[in-house]
Structures are given as structure tokens and as C-alpha cells.
């Protein structure tokens, strides 16, 4: 049941700190030791990340962490594009799907098997077709998600996938075990970080909504490790509000998207504090954009306090906590527009047709 919450999405946003805590309780103790060996897979030199929608975003976030910390290269492919995309021979396919029943994903699994790729599934459903067909399974431990928009399963996939990635780096001796244990200890701070971000978003977002009700379209900007979270925020916004939302690397603005900006255009910026991004923000401001920054304490939607050692220690993970503010923004705007946030039009929770 949704209990005291107005809708399942609100409940599932709220559950994220406890879900992440559960993921870490389940997998944390084995990350530096038995986790990778338990998969029975060889240590790969390359990862092929496969999924759709939010699951693909989670996969990208995870692959970026393993690349950043241990240098394992990767490609990320939409499941529906696997059949028409060349894959790196010998690569381990990491296939992410909340439901484990997405038709595009299952078709990709067939193709990947034909090409000889072993498959490690990251799913929320141990009984799914994906779990049955994969060589190894890592569960994301998020519990049932009712809202069509993925929220808690996204954070669970990112944290569970990061645990999996760290276990690979330990097994491959790309990061030594004591350093892996330190990273795991840092991850145990994520629930607090998310709880802070949820509270801050609940305080800051309602005041923003009235001015956005008539905005036909939104631009989301990120760079580096924040880019994938900007993509996820834009997906959530379009899915729930039925408004256009484009996500771009901030540096791409001048190569096209800048032409979209006019007085009042909302531009949601994942602020990483860099000078380059500040220059991009100045560019859109000069054209009249309504800038909504997400991230630091002084942002429009604050997501972390700069003073906590916790937030500093987790920089290697990328700004996962910003996604919470973007989920709240999409939901609150959708509710104000009278949308059914648990069941957006035209979409299904589990997409079983290709």
C-alpha cells in the first residue's frame, strides 16, 4: 500500500535511503572478497553495458565509476540497438533491467549470447526471464516498485552496480582490497546523503512549480559525472509531465541547443562548481533562461552540504544525490498539472513488446 503517501512515486522516492542501506547491508561485506568470485565469471577487460531508459542510465553511472577508479573501458548500448551495433569481442555484458522482462533487453541477451558474450544481470526480479538467462545475477534489492517511473530502483541499481564494479576491481587487482574496503565504507554514507537531498528538495521545489506550469519545454545540462543524472532527470520530467525535456552535455549548447533558449525557458543545470559550467550558465542567463541549479548548498535545489566530510569523500561516485531533487521536481510539476504520476499515459511498467 502507499500508506500515508499521496501516490506510490512519493513513497518510492522517500524509500531511497533505506533501499540503499539494504543494498549495502546485503552486498557490502563481500565486495572486497567473495562477491566477484561468486559470479563464476572471468575477469573481463571490457564491459558492454546494456539496458533501456532509466536502467541504461544506471548502467552508465556504474560503468563510469569502474572506469574512473580502475580504468576498465566500456561501451553502453541501448538494448534495442544491440543487434545493429558491433560489440567488443570477449567483453562481459552487464545487462540492467528492473523488471528483467523488458522485450528489447531479452532480445539483446539472445544476440549477445550468439556473439559469445557472458552476461551478468543486474535486476530487481530474481525470477525474471533475464535472471534465468544470464550466467550470473546480482540483485538490486529495491523491493517492489509500483510507480511506472523508476526511482528507488535507479538508486539501488547504481549502488548495487557500484558494489559489483568494486568487487571486479578488487578481483582484477586494479584497486587493492584495503582501498576497496574504504570505498565500501564511504558508500555507507549514501543513505544520509539521499535523506538530506530528499528533505532539501521537499523544501525547495514547491516554490519553483508555479512559474513552470506554462513552460512547454525544458533543457537539462550536465558535464562529466553529472551528465548521466541530467539525462535521468530529463527522462523523468518528460515521462511524468508530458513536456519536452532535452538533456545535453553543457559544452554542446553552442552547437545547437542554445537556439532553443528564450525568455523564461527553464534550464536545469547540475552544478559541479566548474568554471566552464559557470560560463555555460552565464550564456543561457544572458538569453533570459530561468536557471534552476541542482547540487551545492546555495543551489536552487540543494542536494548536498559542502561542509560534510561525507559529501567530499564520495566524489568518486558522481552526484547521485542530485537525482532525488530531479525526481521531486518532475513529480511535483506533474501533480500540479493534474497528471497521474503513478501511471503516465502511453507507458507501461514492464515493456514486453519490442
- Interface with ligand M6R (CB under 6 A): 52-55, 97-99, 102, 105, 148-150, 235, 239, 347, 350-351
Q: How far apart are CA 196 and CA 215, in angstroms?
A: 28
Q: Nine-digit cell at 99?
A: 523488471
- Closest approach of ligand M6R to the CB of residue 148, in Å: 5
What are residue 94's DSSP bridge partners?
49, 120
Grid cell digits, residue 120: 551478468
Closest CA to 46 of 16, 23, 77, 9: 77
Please report how close the Cβ of residue 1 comes to ligand M6R at its closest, in angstroms: 21
Residue 351 beta carbon to ligand M6R: minimum distance, rounded to whole angstroms: 5
The beta strands (E) that lie in 81-198 are given as 92-97, 119-123, 136-139
Paired sense of beta strands 266-270 and 47-51, if any: unpaired
In the complex with ligand M6R, which residue's Cβ is closer, 105 or 184?
105
In the complex, minimum distance from the CB of residue 121 to ligand M6R, in angstroms, rounded to a whole number: 11
- Can you tell me whether residue 115 is helix, strand or coil? coil
Show the DSSP H helices in the chain as ranges: 8-14, 16-27, 35-39, 53-70, 103-114, 129-133, 152-171, 177-187, 190-204, 209-212, 227-241, 275-286, 309-313, 322-336
**CA dist., res. 181 & res. 167, Å (int):** 10
CB of 348 to ligand M6R, least distance (A): 8
Residue nearest to ligand M6R (CB): 53
Contact 196, 305 (CB under 8 A): yes
Please report how many Cα atoms fall inside a 13 Å half-sphere around the Cα of residue 123, on the Cβ side.
26
Of 96 and 281, the one with the shorter C-beta distance to ligand M6R is 96
Nearer to ligand M6R, 237 or 281 (CB): 237
Yes or no: say if 13 and 327 are a contact pair by the CB < 8 Å rule: yes
Min separation Cβ 32 and ligand M6R, Å: 28
| Angstrom distances, CA of residue 8 to CA of 12, 151, 234, 307 | 6, 10, 20, 33
CB of 237 to ligand M6R, least distance (A): 11
CB of 83 to ligand M6R, least distance (A): 17
C-alpha 151 chain-centroid distance: 9
Name the residue nearer to ligand M6R (CB basis): 130 or 219.
130
Considering beta carbons, is residue 53 or 189 the nearer one to ligand M6R?
53
Q: Which residues contact 39 (CB under 8 A, 6 or more apart)?
A: 120, 135, 136, 138
Judged by beta carbon, residue 99 or residue 226, the one nearer ligand M6R is: 99
The distance of closest approach from Cβ of residue 349 to ligand M6R in the complex, given in angstroms and rounded to an integer, is 7
In this complex, which beta carbon is closest to ligand M6R, that of residue 97 or of residue 265?
97
* Residue 291 or 351 having the CB closest to ligand M6R: 351
Cell output for 354? 519490442
Tell me which residue has cell 555484458. Answer: 93
Which residue, 149 or 333, is less far from ligand M6R as judged by CB?
A: 149
Amino acid at each position: 500500500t502507499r500508506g500515508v503517501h499521496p501516490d506510490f512515486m512519493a513513497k518510492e522516492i522517500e524509500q531511497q535511503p533505506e533501499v540503499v542501506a539494504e543494498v549495502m547491508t546485503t552486498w557490502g561485506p563481500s565486495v572486497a572478497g567473495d562477491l566477484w568470485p561468486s559470479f563464476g565469471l572471468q575477469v573481463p577487460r571490457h564491459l558492454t553495458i546494456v539496458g533501456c531508459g532509466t536502467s541504461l542510465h544506471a548502467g552508465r553511472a556504474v560503468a563510469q565509476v569502474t572506469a574512473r577508479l580502475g580504468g576498465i573501458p566500456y561501451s553502453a548500448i541501448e538494448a534495442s540497438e544491440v543487434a545493429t551495433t558491433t560489440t567488443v569481442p570477449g567483453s562481459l555484458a552487464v545487462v540492467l533491467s528492473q523488471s528483467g522482462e523488458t522485450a528489447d533487453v531479452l532480445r539483446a541477451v539472445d544476440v549477445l549470447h550468439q556473439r559469445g558474450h557472458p552476461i551478468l544481470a543486474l535486476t530487481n526480479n530474481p525470477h525474471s526471464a533475464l535472471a534465468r538467462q544470464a550466467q550470473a545475477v546480482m540483485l538490486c534489492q529495491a523491493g517492489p516498485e509500483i510507480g511506472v517511473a523508476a526511482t528507488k530502483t535507479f538508486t539501488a541499481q547504481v549502488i548495487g552496480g557500484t558494489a559489483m564494479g568494486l568487487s571486479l576491481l578488487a578481483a582484477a587487482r586494479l584497486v587493492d582490497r584495503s582501498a576497496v574496503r574504504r570505498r565500501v565504507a564511504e558508500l555507507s554514507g549514501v543513505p544520509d546523503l539521499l535523506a538530506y537531498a530528499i528533505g532539501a528538495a521537499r523544501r525547495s521545489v514547491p516554490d519553483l512549480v508555479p512559474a513552470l506550469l506554462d513552460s512547454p519545454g525544458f533543457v537539462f545540462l550536465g558535464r562529466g559525472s553529472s551528465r548521466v543524472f541530467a539525462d535521468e532527470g530529463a527522462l523523468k520530467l518528460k515521462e511524468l509531465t508530458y513536456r519536452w525535456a532535452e538533456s545535453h552535455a553543457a559544452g554542446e549548447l553552442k552547437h545547437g541547443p542554445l537556439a532553443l533558449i528564450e525568455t523564461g525557458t527553464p534550464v536545469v543545470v547540475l552544478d559541479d562548481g566548474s568554471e566552464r559550467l559557470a560560463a555555460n550558465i552565464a550564456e543561457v542567463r544572458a538569453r533570459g533562461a530561468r536557471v534552476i541549479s541542482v547540487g551545492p548548498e546555495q543551489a536552487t535545489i540543494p542536494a548536498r552540504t559542502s561542509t560534510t566530510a561525507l559529501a567530499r569523500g564520495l566524489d568518486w561516485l558522481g552526484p547521485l544525490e542530485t537525482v532525488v531533487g530531479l525526481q521531486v521536481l518532475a513529480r511535483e510539476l506533474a501533480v500540479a498539472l493534474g497528471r497521474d504520476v503513478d501511471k503516465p499515459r502511453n507507458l507501461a511498467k514492464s515493456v514486453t513488446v519490442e
